[in-house]
Structure 1
Amino acid sequence: MTSIRRYQKPDWPVVWPLLQTTFSSGDTYAFSPDSSESEIHKAWVETAAATYVSCTKDGRLLGTYIIKANQPGLGSHVCNCGYIVAPEAQRQGVASAMCEHSQREAVSMGFIAMQFNLVVSTNERAVRLWKRLGFHVVGTLPRAFHHQSLGFVDALVMYKKLAS
């Protein structure tokens, strides 16, 4: 059983290596593989509306996610999220739990929809999961992601209405 809670400053020494490993692979996130710790901290903690972590009962970190407005001003009623699961916790329902949690949090924060702007088409597990959780592909961006090993691949825009 896992719990999801707000990120706390002492979490960073565990969150940072998880983010760094994920982003350095260059196959799922648009962050540059050589992004600095301060750049990632700013994006993941400082500018997000909220950052969360998923942990075991004994406090071991399993994953993290952020929630933020997808656009400023007149587009700020739609949120955007990013999710990272520790390699040893993958395929255990952590991403599903964080996504479901983020949808509830989004509604409580006043967002009416959630949009994923750049789902890498070759990230088949994520695409399947988001579809299973009610997201729809609303657009395909041809060759919009520069995959580190596959070259230019399509990216998907996925969307889900959260509240009326």
Structure 2
Amino acid sequence: MLIREATREDWHAIWPFFHTIVAAGETLTYPPDLGKEDAQEWWYVAAPNRVVVAVDDRGTILGTAKMNRNHMGNGSHIASATYMVDPAHSGKGVGRALCEYSVDWARDAGFRAMQFNAVVETNTHAVRLYESIGFKVIGTLPEGFNHPAEGYVGLHIMHKSL
């Protein structure tokens, strides 16, 4: 698996799984009816932030990550990231590779920590993955997320010092 900088031309391959994940409304705080053009503008952040894709040896895009400053000004030393793995390729280490890549990016870029602002507590696969990489739940916003099947569930704030 190779992780490389995403190009605008990659969007045609990202959008189908991006749309599937967001429309399901189970793991991200994006509007479930987010349209293709708006989604692309939200995802493709400007430098020094980054968007990458994980690709297999045939060039198939398996997942993507958006890495960015979590805060501005005097809080700009904290990074964040968001990940999406094509459900057809889940369970193959793509999420782990993207998360580890983003931690390395943040450390190399001089950030002091990473913070995830809204990890849905019922997204247990993601919570376990992040914890295995060293993130800790430092707080939970009770009923911060309206899950389509589970109802109101918590949103974890997760943190890792770099």
- Per the normalisation by structure 2, the TM-score is 0.96
How far did 1:10 drift? 1.2
Return the alpha-carbon distance in structure 2 between the equivalents of residues 22 and 47 of structure 1.
23
Question: Larger deviation: 114-123 or 102-111?
Answer: 102-111
Unaligned runs of 5+ in 2: none
**Alignment match, 2:137:** 137
Return the alpha-carbon distance in structure 2 between the equivalents of residues 3 and 133 of structure 1.
19
**Alignment match, 2:20:** 21
2:140 is aligned with what amino acid?
T
- Computed over aligned residues only, the root mean square deviation of the Cα atoms, in angstroms, reads 1.1
Return the alpha-carbon distance in structure 1 between the equivalents of residues 70 and 101 of structure 2.
18
**Alignment match, 2:80:** 80
How far did 1:110 drift? 2.0
Is this contact kept in 1: 2:45–2:68, CA < 8 A? no
Report the number of matched residues.
161
2:114 is aligned with what amino acid?
M
How far did 1:46 drift? 3.5
Which portions of structure 1, spanning 4 or more consecutive aligned residues, are displaced by more than 4 angstroms? none
How far did 1:106 drift? 1.0
**Alignment match, 2:65:** 65
- Per the normalisation by structure 1, the TM-score is 0.95
Question: Larger deviation: 124-133 or 103-112?
Answer: 103-112
Return the alpha-carbon distance in structure 1 between the equivalents of residues 88 and 34 of structure 2.
23
Return the alpha-carbon distance in structure 2 between the equivalents of residues 22 and 84 of structure 1.
8
Per-residue CA deviations over 1:28-62 (Å, capped at 9, x if unaligned) read 00001001112211111045711000000110010
1:11 is aligned with what amino acid?
D
**Alignment match, 1:33:** 32
Per-residue CA deviations over 1:36-90 (Å, capped at 9, x if unaligned) read 1122111110457110000001100100000011111111110110001111111
How far did 1:151 drift? 1.4
Unaligned runs of 5+ in 1: none
Secondary structure of the residue that 2:44 maps to in structure 1?
A: helix
The answer as to 2:155 corresponding to 1:155 is yes
